[in-house]
């Protein structure tokens, strides 16, 4: 299997008649020397077209960003690139990925996709996409380390984090480190995230509890509020609750009508506690995934 990760500094999307993210666009690669991959024979050929990304890919980017407490500021879309790329368009940060490659190469391997997107996101977070010159071994290793970190934070094992990298060729090049160095970088990142735990089941294995926002009972006096949606969107509240539970947060959905101090008409995703101190302790954990979470007295 041929795998290359790309980080391009100058890819300019040429929008064809629309500015919506749903629109299909043609990408013009202005300067090939700013494109980097780690398989030396990977080159971008022909015209590159972008398509709207899947919700799954957008969610994955949000999950990865949550591991560092940041909200995604990227636009992500599918494109006919080898696998994925981090690119800058003016001041906009873009992540492009190949839906075809993901569906055909790693269809049931969520962790491989997290590692791939994590690697590309790291190129943005570390400012690599602002530098000219394309791939260099040190920047590739920085990106690999973050890929391992993201998989570890989201509950994957070291094996999960390294799987994608084991598919790479053993030898490196002027621009790309060899496989062994990359596996090492991933392992270091994974250990930073996990403290080196062994055999801990991923949080996503926690029992799936179906949210019934309409019937959710009033809970403790103090609430850590991790988000709210109007009563018209109970499914959104359930989905958000499931996402946060998968990250290990003991959230539930409440109806704000049941709480004297909350604005009516909302379903809120909360951690309910019985004391103010407990609430602020819980807030620290929640803010790692939801930076704008806050504490409120419910009743
Ligand atoms: Zn890279």
For residue 103, what pLDDT band results from cuts at 50, 70 and 90?
Answer: confident
Q: What is the dihedral of CA 154, 158, 161, 164, to 10 degrees?
A: -160
More confident site: 170 or 266: 170
176 C-alpha to ligand 1 centroid (Å): 9
Q: Give the model's pLDDT for residue 23.
A: 55
More confident site: 256 or 15: 256
Q: How does strand 92-97 pair with strand 74-79?
A: parallel
Longest dimension (CA), the chain: 64
185 C-alpha to ligand 1 centroid (Å): 13
For residue 198, what pLDDT band results from cuts at 50, 70 and 90?
Answer: low
Q: What percentage of the chain has pLDDT greater than the value 90?
A: 25
For residue 274, what pLDDT band results from cuts at 50, 70 and 90?
Answer: confident
Q: Give the model's pLDDT for residue 218.
A: 54
Q: If you average pLDDT over residues 264-275, what whole number do you get? A: 83
- Segment 1-59, tens digit of pLDDT: 445 555 543 443 433 333 334 456 776 555 444 454 544 455 556 677 778 889 989 99
Q: Give the model's pLDDT for residue 268.
A: 85
Q: Give the model's pLDDT for residue 216.
A: 44
Q: If you average pLDDT over residues 169-195, what whole number do you get? A: 92
Map out the domains of the chain with their CATH numbers: 6-194 (no CATH), 206-297 (3.30.70.1070)
234 — phi, psi (to 5°)?
-60, -30
211, 194, 195: which is closest to 203 by C-alpha?
Answer: 194
User: Which two structure tokens, joined as six digits, stand for 191?
Assistant: 């250990």
Q: If you average pLDDT over residues 81-105, what whole number do you get? A: 83
291 C-alpha to ligand 1 centroid (Å): 27
In the predicted model, is pLDDT for residue 148 greater than 50?
yes
289 C-alpha to ligand 1 centroid (Å): 25
């Amino acid at each position: 299997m041929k795998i290359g990760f790309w980080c391009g500094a100058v890819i300019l999307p040429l929008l064809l008649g629309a500015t919506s993210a749903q629109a299909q666009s043609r990408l013009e690669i202005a300067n090939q020397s700013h494109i980097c991959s780690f398989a030396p024979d990977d080159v971008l050929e022909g015209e590159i077209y972008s398509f709207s990304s899947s919700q799954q890919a957008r969610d994955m980017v949000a999950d990865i960003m949550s591991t560092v407490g940041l909200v995604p500021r990227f636009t992500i879309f599918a494109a006919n690139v080898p696998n994925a790329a981090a690119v800058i368009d003016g001041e906009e940060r873009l992540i492009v990925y190949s839906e075809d490659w993901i569906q055909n190469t790693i269809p049931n391997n969520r962790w491989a996709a997290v590692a791939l997107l994590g690697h590309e996101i790291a190129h943005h977070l570390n400012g690599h996409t602002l530098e000219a010159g394309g791939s260099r071994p040190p920047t590739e290793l920085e990106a690999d380390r973050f890929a391992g970190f993201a998989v570890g934070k989201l509950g994957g094992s070291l094996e999960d984090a390294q799987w994608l990298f084991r598919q790479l060729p053993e030898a490196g090049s002027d621009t790309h480190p060899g496989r062994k160095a990359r596996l090492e970088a991933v392992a270091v990142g994974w250990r930073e995230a996990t403290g080196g735990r062994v055999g801990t089941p991923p949080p996503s294995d926690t029992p799936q509890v179906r949210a019934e926002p309409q019937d959710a009972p009033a809970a403790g006096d103090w609430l850590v509020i991790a988000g709210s949606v109007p009563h018209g969107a109970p499914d959104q509240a359930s989905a958000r609750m499931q996402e946060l539970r998968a990250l290990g947060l003991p959230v539930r959905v409440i109806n704000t009508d049941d709480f004297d101090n909350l604005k009516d008409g909302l379903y809120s995703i909360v951690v309910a506690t019985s004391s103010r101190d407990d609430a602020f302790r819980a807030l620290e954990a929640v803010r790692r995934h939801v930076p704008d979470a806050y504490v409120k007295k419910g009743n």
